[in-house]
Each structure stands twice: as structure tokens, then as C-alpha cells.
Amino acid sequence: MRLVHKYILPIIISLSGVILVLNCSSSPRYTTGSRNRSKPVKKVNSTTKSKKILKGISSYYGEDFHGKLTANGEVYDMYGLTAAHKTLPLNTIVRVTNLENEKSLILRINDRGPYVKGRMLDCSYGAALKLGFIGNGTTKVKVEVIELGDDKYMKHKE
């Protein structure tokens, strides 16, 4: 019995601690690999379908989310040209036009949001800068769907 207390019990406790620590580790937040599309995106053909056009209020998000994961699994780059929308498939390509100054930009939907009542789109800081509404914080926009996304989540390489 003394042998169990002296040698076996400390080994069991140590192994349990190691297993607990290993199971609590998280997945990597950053990836160096590029996003692979498993299927090509579906183009919205204006001859067979009418283009989906949405109008509403856009805001932008930046520093607080920079470096965090987006809904499609990418790391958010506040200087990139991306946007968040509540229902469009992830990886959808859209043309966003600021209706207050007519500046236009092509963005990719890689996140979900905005979660503020009355807003339709959340642009990245970089997109808002190019669209010219950083000072106001929000603007009226027209969103034209160019390509429907594959709605896929990006898997990280270990």
C-alpha cells in the first residue's frame, strides 16, 4: 500500500493534469495558408436572373475586431476589403455603392452582422475609408450581388 501512495498515485495525478491541460488548449487563431474554395462560386447571370440589389444603412467595424476570427473562419483584417451581412452566403462578392457620394467598391462577405437595428451591412474599416464614410460612421448604400458565395467555413492548417 505504501508503494501505491509513494509512486503510483503521484504518477496518476501528474498524467491527469497533463491530459487536462492538453484538452483545454484552443485551436490556432491565425493561419498562413490561403483560403481554398472547394466549389466555384455561382455567378449571378443578369440574363437568367435579375441581379439582387439591396439598399440600406451601412456602418463599419475596425480595431476592436482586428485579428479576431470572422464567421467564415478567416482572421479579420480591418484594412482589407470585406463586409458582414446577416443573410447573404459567406464569400459572396458584392458591389457596394455609397449613395451619398457615389463611390463604389467590390467587397467579399466574410462575416455576419451588423447586429444594430436598422443596419444592413458592416464594412471593414478599409472599405469604409475607400467608400468615404469614416467621419460619419454610417451611410446609405446600394449592394449589388455579383457572385453568390459558397457559404463555406475556412479550415485552419495546424
The average confidence (pLDDT) of the chain is 82
Give the cell for residue 98: 455609397
pLDDT tens profile 54-106:
999 999 998 899 999 999 999 999 999 999 999 999 999 999 999 999 999 99
Per this entry, what is the length of the chain?
158
Residue 51, all three cell numbers = 441581379
Higher pLDDT, 20 or 52: 52
Q: What is the CATH number of domain 42-148?
A: 2.40.40.10
pLDDT above 70 coverage of the chain, percent: 72
Confidence label for 28 from pLDDT (cuts 50, 70 and 90)? very low
Express each pLDDT in 32-55 by its tens digit: 444 444 344 445 554 445 679 999
Delimit the domains of the chain by residue range: 42-148
pLDDT recorded at residue 8? 76
pTM: 0.68
